[in-house]
Chain A
Amino acid sequence: MSDKTLNKKPVTIVLFSGELDKAMAAFVIATSAASMGMPVSIFFTFWGLNVIKKQGGLIKGSNWMQRMLNIMNYGHARKLALSKMNMLGMGPAMLKTMMAKKRVPDMAEFIKTAAALGVKFYPCEMSMTVMGLKKEDFLDEREAVIGAVSYLSIAKDSQVNLFI
């Protein structure tokens, strides 16, 4: 891109939701913005953490409540539910087929594309602590684990700031 790039205005997205449809929305915006040369940061918090979790490792956490939560909330980029019409997993399966037909990238591809475009993934420290998750539980593409203050220090200079 030219050095006169006009789009140095950062984009910040808080991905709070762990559903496929909402994560898709976040990544469509993130990759589009990154393609326009805008620096993009996604702050993954609470259920949204599932999107950048590594596959595997059903039992996580240091007490029974955390373990139960992590078993019931098991998920990663290839295993995310829908916010509507989930139908015990039939909804996501059908949507994935429909997306593949239209050559919309799946979540794993979106993550790879976003990382290649320099989108930064920040896991939220507080949610991780509550849920008993370690930084090793997340994809290697992630940046440092940060807290709300660090998120705000990025967000306050952003022109676009979304909570999904």
Chain B
Amino acid sequence: MTQYTIDKSLDARGWCCPMPSVKTALALEGMADGQVIEVITDDPVSKRDLPVWAEATGNTLLAVEETDSTIKIYLRKGEAQA
């Protein structure tokens, strides 16, 4: 179901607000536009906050997958896509 390659995976499990978005921001700094990051979190607030964060920072939300207590959020750096 994932039709994009994951360039970086960020395991933010165990961290709660505001660290998932802070860590995502820091991780994206070292990435190029168009690259995809997978953020793994167990913080339920991140499911709502990270998409908002992506929109506010001009990054693209690709998908949110939830299994049991783990949430995986896929973001593409930058807007739209190549």
Contact = CB atoms under 8 A, between A and B. Distances in A.
A pairs with B: yes
A32 B57 contact: no
Given A28-B17, A113-B22, A5 B58 contact: yes
Interface of A: 1-2, 4-7, 28, 31-32, 34-37, 102-105, 113, 116-117
Contacts of A35: 18, 21-22, 24-26, 53, 57
Interface of B: 14-19, 21-22, 24-26, 28-29, 33, 53, 56-59, 77-79
Contacts of A36: 21, 25, 53, 56-57
Contact of A2 (B17, B22, B29, B59): B59
B18 A116 contact: no
B79 to A, nearest CB: 6
Contacts of A34: 22, 25
Contacts of B28: 1
A103 B33 contact: no
B69 to A, nearest CB: 14
A9 to B, nearest CB: 10
B53 to A, nearest CB: 6
Contacts of A6: 56-58
